[in-house]
Amino acid sequence: MKSKILIIVCLIWTIAGCSSRPVHSETTIVAPESEVAEDLDLKAVSMLFKNSKNIESFERALNDPSLGINNLDLNRDGEIDFIRVVEESKGASRLVILQVPLAKDEFQDVATIEVERYADNEYRMHLHGHPVVYGPDFYITPMSVHIHAWPVIGWMYGPVYRPYRSGFYFGFYPSWWRPWRPAAVSVYHTRVVNYVGPTRFHVKRVSVVRPAARISYTPRSSTLVKRTRVTRTTKVGGKTTRVTKGVKVTKNNKTGKKSLTAGSKKVTKTKKGSKTKVKKVKIKKQ
């Protein structure tokens, strides 16, 4: 009898202990900076880079209409943008910049490829999406660590290496290139499906490259980039929250507090129909 009472008491204490622990339940809504991120799959770009013999051939493959990897229309003028490639180097560091010329002296960086060779002859690389297009901390890294076997890596660290700088700019493009109409996102995904296998590249939120020699580089952003409004809606605790254009709202369901970061507007509707508006939050250019 005493043993049964002891067991019951232990169960009561266990249940009480669990119920007294704080429960931190969070609902996070993330809206991307721009929908154009869906028009250039960085995993497919990484595969193109891996299979290229040098940076010049990489630039051509990137803009090849028969491959259809590039579906970018940053300024929404109904035509695909040409992505030029510029390379910088310092010591064992290599930086490849993917950049769209939108007008004279107007450029929008899309992504950068960073490669580093370390003292033990180890190579690392990642592709870093520009925050304006892909949001903060968006990296593509290879699943395989043996990138030294890639043709383009051998060329970048070869004895006769010279950094490649595209000779093309706004209004002056290669003779083989003509702009075409962008495809719907669903069609575009069918084009790149063979380049984005799950065992090739994956997304990370942290950098995997530790530059031995920091390359001086200032990212370029253009005011001509038209960001399409992106809306995400969620219902939590009887309230509806609408998030637009690059806004991240995190709500603690226990305290009811919300935090707003890097965005433009938040509108909250209660059952009574009242609204709460939050003023614009400026996004720092990186």
Write out pLDDT tens, residues 214-272: 788 878 888 767 654 444 444 555 555 555 444 444 555 556 555 555 444 444 555 55
pTM: 0.69
| Rounded mean pLDDT, 75-96 | 94
In whole angstroms, give the CA distance from residue 246 to residue 263.
5
Q: How confident is the model at residue 31 (pLDDT cuts 50, 70, 90)?
A: very low
- Residue among 149, 154, 124, 150 at smallest CA distance from 139: 124
pLDDT at 90: 92
Q: What percent of the chain has pLDDT over 70?
A: 66
Task: List the one residue out of 263, 280, 271, 264 whose CA is nearest residue 240.
Answer: 271
Alpha-carbon distances of 38 from 35, 180, 281, rounded to whole Å: 6, 17, 24
The pLDDT assigned to 3 comes to 52
- Decide: residue 269, CB within 10 A, 0-12 exposed, 13-18 middle, 19+ buried: middle
| Inter-CA distances, 116 with 21, 130, 171, 180, Å | 46, 19, 34, 36
pLDDT at position 237: 54
Confidence of residue 169 (pLDDT cuts 50, 70, 90): very high
The mean predicted confidence, pLDDT, of the chain is: 77
| CA end-to-end distance (rounded Å), the chain | 70
